[in-house]
Amino acid sequence: MAGVGWVQLDIRDEDAVLSVLRAFRPQVVLHTAYSKADLEGVVVRGTAHVARACADLGARLIHLSTDQVFDGREAPYAEPARPNPLTSYGRAKLEAERVVGGMLSQAVVVRSSLIWGLDPPDPTSWMVLELADGRRQGGLFEDEYRSFVFVEDLARALWELVRLDYRGILHLGGAEVLSRLEFGRLIAPIYGRDPARLPALRLADFPEPRPQNCALDSSRARGLLKTRLRGVREVLASRV
């Protein structure tokens, strides 16, 4: 693609992060990198390296966070809601948010939900297909709720934010709140799978605490952006 440069970068390497950003001299950095396998190294320290480089260069940072910073007890969550993560991933992402806020007064922290896509399928959709095919153990929670957001809608919303003078926290969740099982039953037929083959789980079956309902109140984004953050059924209906 003309005018686009690709660089492989490990954000755990602070010198490499600064070197790459100095080479590109960006006005805005969209930081979406994460790893559940190395929460401290990638999510916390890696974010600190990106934020520090942005501060050094005077670049504006748009940092992608998660609805998992909430405990799932008082949904829907608007931007002023108090975070209280239950999972190690949520705690690491909240720490990353605080790192960004402490270094960059003009940064945007975007809290999103489970991101899904059709072509190619996202990791959650792949899990649905594997469960329907009997190639994966486990099941889908029938009592855990999220504001599933379509990847193309999220990308357009983030691109709008690049051009807007907005700072602080912004919630970008899809318009429809679904359980993981409800989502799976909608997705499975798209790929020719029988939704009745999807096994159900309850949070009580899981050994560690998980937030039950992390639905996001994205009304601020609806007033700010032209991009509509559609629900799963609306997206699927538009693809028929």
In a domain, 95, yes or no: yes
Q: Is 6 contained in some domain?
A: no
Residue 1 falls inside a structural domain: no
Does 3 reside within a domain?
A: no
Q: Which among 139, 104, 122, 120 is positioned nearest to 31, based on CA atoms?
A: 104
Report the C-alpha gap between 118 and 197 in whole angstroms: 20
CATH number at residue 165: 3.40.50.720
Q: Do the domain assignments include residue 42?
A: yes
Q: pTM of this prediction?
A: 0.94
Contacts of 169 (CB under 8 A, 6+ apart): 79, 97, 108, 109, 110, 111
pLDDT tens column, 82-95: 999 999 999 999 99
Count of structural domains, the chain: 1
Tens-place pLDDT, residues 149-196: 999 999 999 999 999 999 999 999 999 999 999 999 999 999 999 999
Q: Does residue 4 sit within a domain? A: no
Evaluate whether residue 7 is within a structural domain.
no
Supply 75's token pair: 């949904």
Per residue in 202-229, pLDDT (tens digit) is 999 999 999 999 999 999 999 999 999 9
Answer for the pair 175, 231: CB distance below 8 angstroms, yes or no: yes
Quote the CA–CA distance of 113 and 184 in Å, as a whole number.
16
Tell how far CA 12 is from the center of its chain: 20
Which has the closest alpha carbon to 201: 133, 130, 131, 115? 131
Domain housing 136: 14-238
* Confidence category of residue 4, pLDDT binned at 50, 70, 90: confident
Residue 84 lies in a domain: yes
